[in-house]
Structure 1
Amino acid sequence: MKQSSLLNRYRLLIALLLMAVFLLFIVLLKGKHYLLFSFMCLICSLLPAYWRFEHDPISTQTLMFVAVLIALAVATRVPLGAIPGVQGASFVVILSGVSLGPELGFITGSTTALVSNMFMGQGPWTPWQMVAWGLMGLTAGLFMKARLSHSLIFMIVFACVWGYLFGWIMDLWYALAYVSPLTIKSFILAFAASFFPFDTFHAASNAFLIALFYKPWEKLFHRLVTKYNILPDKNQ
């Protein structure tokens, strides 16, 4: 019982630490076996939800709703792939965290990266994208619990900040894996190179989509969650 309680309390931290280990292996192996590590990261992203619902299994409605959100995120990412930095998937991932909580927001984000890259192209960047989008959904869910997600201004700032954070996580992978020699100057330049247009376009598109669509979509998602009893204990 004590061990189960400990796992429940630190489930997200344990999953993130395991994913960090796999990301380290990708860097050390120079991108080799990236698909294996992608699926290992996917398994890690599922662990928090598994531990949370160990004694209260996830309903079929919940699984279907998460699958629909992942499909929607993929559908919004692929058509916009030709526009530098614009990621419609981030909007859906943020909404998933706000509607379903941190664990399922984490799953939606990480799975979106893996599935959408089946169309966009898999590579050693995939696990890093899984972590970045997973953290985006996770933090959105945490702010939902803190009731901050009801403020449109806060969510616009949150989405904008995550546009840059997502890019910085990807820049970290690039710098550690491919920049040689890695000095303070080259490390900073690796981050600065993508600041504009990629990171800035991502932040701007996130803010635009949240400002325009967040309130009606949030109401729709919460109505669906309540009507179909998708996640009755989402505030736990």
Structure 2
Amino acid sequence: MSNKWRAKVIGQILLVSVLIAVFLGLTLLLKNKHFLLFSFMLLLCSILPAYWRFEREPLKTQTLMFLAILIALAVAGRVPFASLPSVQAASFVIILGGISLGPELGFVTGSTTALVSNMFLGQGPWTPWQMFAWGLMGLTAGLIGRTQLSHRLMPMIIFGGVWGFVYGWIMDLWFALAYVNPLTMKSFILAFTASAGFDLVHCLSNVVLIALLYRSWEKLIDRLNRKYNFLPTKTH
């Protein structure tokens, strides 16, 4: 990975993170009114890395189609399991998307999945935070995809398991800031502890899906890419 490429990625992450933090802060200050407006603003922020990617290397039509298919699969992997709290098949698809498409489009995959799936499950003040959490999941998976760790099953299982908790902690942070009053260290810890069981289920569902399906999906995508050349070129 060149220093120039690394500097660009870090710059993108910092800028998008700052913009997202501003929008998330505004949703809290406005008492969760206009959350749908801020969700679309957040989606625009998440698309910025894709424009950077397009400027550096034009995205092929096949790549955009594959991105749309991944988002559709992630939505399909979330909506049917809505009755099973924290069983998130969507997370597996988002991680796979980041590994395949890179950090920029991985972020787009995660954030768009949250917004589109909530059109079926219900929008709310939680939507921007889910977009942020799943976007970061896809982005970090894209960074892992630049290394040899993405070809080793155990590191990917650990990565998916850790993100089962990190996703929950981001959502716990939103809940604590928005609804816990008064917000003390004790109440803050209790808010996080109360969701530990759900975070564990998310962790285990990621671990099981990656352990069972990651290798076969990796081979399938590699075989299809050799035939149709739809994956963007990875810059090291």
Relative to structure 1, the CA distance from residue 9 to residue 76 in structure 2 (aligned partners, 3 Å threshold; closer, same or farther) is: closer
Deviations 1:103-126 (A, max 9, x none): 111100000000000011100100
Letter in 1 for 2:122: G
Residue ranges of structure 1 left out of the alignment (5+ in a row):
none
In the aligned structure 2, how far is the partner of 1:166 from the partner of 1:210? 17
| Per-residue deviation, 1:35 | 0.5
Residues 82-231 of structure 1 aligned to structure 2 (within 5 Å): 82-196=83-197, 198-231=198-231
Deviates more, 1:56-65 or 1:207-216: 56-65
Deviations 1:56-110 (A, max 9, x none): 3211111110000000000010000101110000000000011111111110000
| Helix, strand or coil at the partner of 1:124 | coil
Letter in 2 for 1:57: P
Match of 1:62 in 2: 63
Letter in 2 for 1:68: I
In the aligned structure 2, how far is the partner of 1:61 from the partner of 1:38? 27
| Helix, strand or coil at the partner of 2:59 | coil
In the aligned structure 2, how far is the partner of 1:9 from the partner of 1:186? 34
Deviations 1:194-230 (A, max 9, x none): 101x111000000000000000001112222332221
Kindly indicate whether residue 231 of structure 2 is the aligned counterpart of residue 235 of structure 1.
Answer: no
| Percent of aligned pairs with the same amino acid | 66
Relative to structure 1, the CA distance from residue 218 to residue 8 in structure 2 (aligned partners, 3 Å threshold; closer, same or farther) is: closer
Aligned residues of 2:53 and 2:59 also touching (Cα < 8 A): no
Deviates more, 1:112-121 or 1:46-55: 46-55
TM-score (norm 2): 0.94
Relative to structure 1, the CA distance from residue 7 to residue 160 in structure 2 (aligned partners, 3 Å threshold; closer, same or farther) is: closer
Letter in 2 for 1:113: A
In the aligned structure 1, how far is the partner of 2:184 from the partner of 2:10? 39
In the aligned structure 1, how far is the partner of 2:61 from the partner of 2:76? 22
Deviations 1:176-201 (A, max 9, x none): 011000000000001001101x1110
| Helix, strand or coil at the partner of 2:85 | coil
| Per-residue deviation, 1:55 | 4.5
In the aligned structure 1, how far is the partner of 2:152 from the partner of 2:97? 16
Letter in 2 for 1:133: W
Match of 1:17 in 2: 18
How many residues matched? 231
Residue ranges of structure 2 left out of the alignment (5+ in a row):
1-5
Deviates more, 1:48-57 or 1:12-21: 48-57
| Helix, strand or coil at the partner of 1:44 | helix
Deviations 1:139-177 (A, max 9, x none): 111011122111111111110000000000000000001
Q: CA RMSD in A?
A: 1.5
Letter in 1 for 2:163: W
